[in-house]
Every structure is written in C-alpha cells, then in structure tokens.
Amino acid sequence: MRIRVGYEFIYGFPQPTPMILTVSTHYSRASDVVVPDHLTTDPSVPITAYRDGFGNWCTRIVAPAGRIRIAGNGVVRDTGIPDPVVPYAQQYAVQNLPEDTLVFLLGSRYCETDLLSEIAWKLFGHSQRGWSLVQAICNYVHHHITFDYQNARPTRTAWGAYSERSGVCRDFAHLAIAFCRCMNIPARYCTGYLGDIGAPPPYGVPDFAAWIEVYVGGGWYIFDPRNNVPRIGRVLIARGRDAADVAIVTTFGPNTLESFHIWTDEITESGAVIPAVSSAATA
C-alpha cells in the first residue's frame, strides 16, 4: 500500500526565533519513500539540517517575526502487515545486552525509574520474562490510564501518568518504558504517523502518535500500550529515550501556535485517498 503523510503548522512570532523541527520520515524507511516529505516554509527562510545523537533527522530554521507556515507532504510505501508478534522472544540478562542498548535501561527526563522501580517489581516481579513480561506491562498501562486528549500536558511524566491515571499516547508510552526499564528490559520512545488503516471507527484526533520499542529476542520490537493491538501503517519519524529527545517542534522564544494539521491516509496509485480505511492520525 501507499500512505500519504504530512503536516502543517502555522505559528506567530513577535520576533525572529530559532526553531528545531523533527518531522522527517526516519532513515530506516528510506527505501520506502516514494515522495520525500521535504520541509517547506512560507515565507521562505534558510533551512539547514543535521542528525542528532540517535540518528534522527532534524531541521533548523530561524522563523521571522510575524506569521509562518511550516509544512511537509510525502508518500511512503508500506507492506500493510500489522506489527509483528514474537511471543517466544527471550529477555537478555543485563550483562549480556549489547552496549548500545544500555542507555535505554536508564532513567530519563520523562521516565523516572527510581520512583517506579519498587512498584514495577511488585506488579510484574512474578511474570514470565521476555515478550510475555512486556505484554503484561502494556496490558497494565493500557487499562491503568484513561485516554483524555483534553487533559494533555507536556510536563506529565511516567510517574504523573501512573498517579493521575490519565493522559495521551506519550503518557502511555512513558509509563510502559519506565516499567520495562525497571524490569531490566531496554525500551525506547518512538514518534511518527499512525493512521486508522484497518482499525474500526470511531477514529482519533489528528496528531502525531507515540509508541515504544523494546529489546527482546536479539532485536527491537514495537509495542503500543495506547492501542495495545498490532496496527498497520506506522511511519517512524524519530526514536529516543523519551519525548524530550524527539520533540516535534522546539522553539527558542515566545510564540503562538495558531493551527496544526496532521494527515495519514492510504492512497491509490493515482494519489486518491481511500475513504474506507483512511483517517486522521491517532494521538
């Protein structure tokens, strides 16, 4: 299948303001890109880019005073196959983990392993290790947190999500990541596009999505504590320790976000949207 992905942000700035945007399709999907989702601005400004410490493609601009439109629109091929399920994937002992996974065992800005470790061991200490343990964590988080888009806030951490039992997809991801790390399973935060392809209505509010990847069975596998079922058509943008590493937009000055729009649609070869399986991206 082909999936059209894209975004449009309209900001107002009282003065020239530097910005960092992490909105480009991840390099791991490079061979799937049909139409690159190049970032454009109106009015036009100089654009530079770099790879961050996690390999994500980041864009830098200086927004002028006044109103600016930032947008991108691309097309990506996808297999149409749901997220893989590997129930016999085993958990590695910490001493046997690859060195590049170890950073994803540590506490981070939004994932306070020190506050949640005792709780995690009480909840999951008797669970079978490996894939089953990760699924038990996702099951718990899925039922523990009530999805509430109106109650979203950027300062809520995993501890906050656990205590308040409310949040959006990033809060589900942060709590599941923290619990996995407490149980000695490397876990990392992912952000990207996830439409409602293959999912029944009602459909979600248009936004970028968050999910997690965990290291079991010698590889990284997708889990989604928010939806808690294998999904079709994920398009990764960035990975990191938590949302602080993969912020979609970072601004270095006062601003007003006047509007934003995200789309994730299955399309025909001619580019027409397929209504029956197309929808806004989930939050």
Residue 279, pLDDT above cutoff 50: no
pLDDT band with cut points at 50, 70 and 90 for residue 275: low
pLDDT at 33: 97
Q: Mean pLDDT lowest for which of 152-161, 198-207, 259-268?
A: 198-207
Residue 278, pLDDT above cutoff 70: no
CATH 3.10.620.30 residue ranges for the chain: 94-245
Q: Tell me: the pLDDT tens digits for 74-95?
A: 999 999 999 999 999 999 999 9
Pick 199 or 43 by higher pLDDT.
Answer: 43
Pick 203 or 162 by higher pLDDT.
Answer: 162
Residue 253, pLDDT above cutoff 60: yes
What is the phi/psi pair of residue 209, to 5°? -110, 160
Residue 270, pLDDT above cutoff 80: no
Query: Which CATH number fits the domain 2-80+247-277, given the four candidates 3.40.50.970, 2.60.40.2250, 3.60.70.12, 3.30.465.10?
Result: 2.60.40.2250
pLDDT band with cut points at 50, 70 and 90 for residue 206: low
CATH 2.60.40.2250 residue ranges for the chain: 2-80+247-277
Pick from 249, 247, 244, 283: nearest CA to 112: 244
Residue 277, pLDDT above cutoff 70: no
Residue 40, pLDDT above cutoff 50: yes
pLDDT at 276: 38
Read off the pLDDT of each residue in 112-128 and give the average, rounded to a whole number: 97
Strands 256-267 and 33-35, how do they pair?
unpaired
Q: Tell me: the pLDDT tens digits for 58-69?
A: 999 999 999 999
Residue 282, pLDDT above cutoff 70: no
Read off the pLDDT of each residue in 228-248 and give the average, rounded to a whole number: 97
> What's the predicted TM-score (pTM) here?
0.94
pLDDT at 281: 35
Q: Give me the chain's average pLDDT, please.
A: 94
Residue 272, pLDDT above cutoff 90: no
pLDDT at 271: 80
**Among residues of the chain, what percentage have pLDDT more than 70?**
96
Residue 239, pLDDT above cutoff 50: yes
3-state secondary structure the chain: CEEEEEEEEEEEECCCEEEEECCCCCHHHHHHEEECCCCEEECCCCCEEEECCCCCEEEEEEECCEEEEEEEEEEEECCCCCCCCCCCCCCCCHHHCCHHHHHHHCCECCECHHHHHHHHHHHHCCCCCCHHHHHHHHHHHHHHCEECHHHCCCCCCHHHHHHHCEECHHHHHHHHHHHHHHCCCCEEEEEEECCCCCCCCCCCCCCCEEEEEEEECCEEEEECCCCCCCCCCCEEEEEECCHHHCCCEEECCCCEEEEEEEEEEEECCCCCECHHHCECCCC
CB 249 within 8 A of CB 21: yes
> Was domain 94-245 assigned CATH 3.10.620.30?
yes
Pick 207 or 70 by higher pLDDT.
Answer: 70
pLDDT at 236: 98
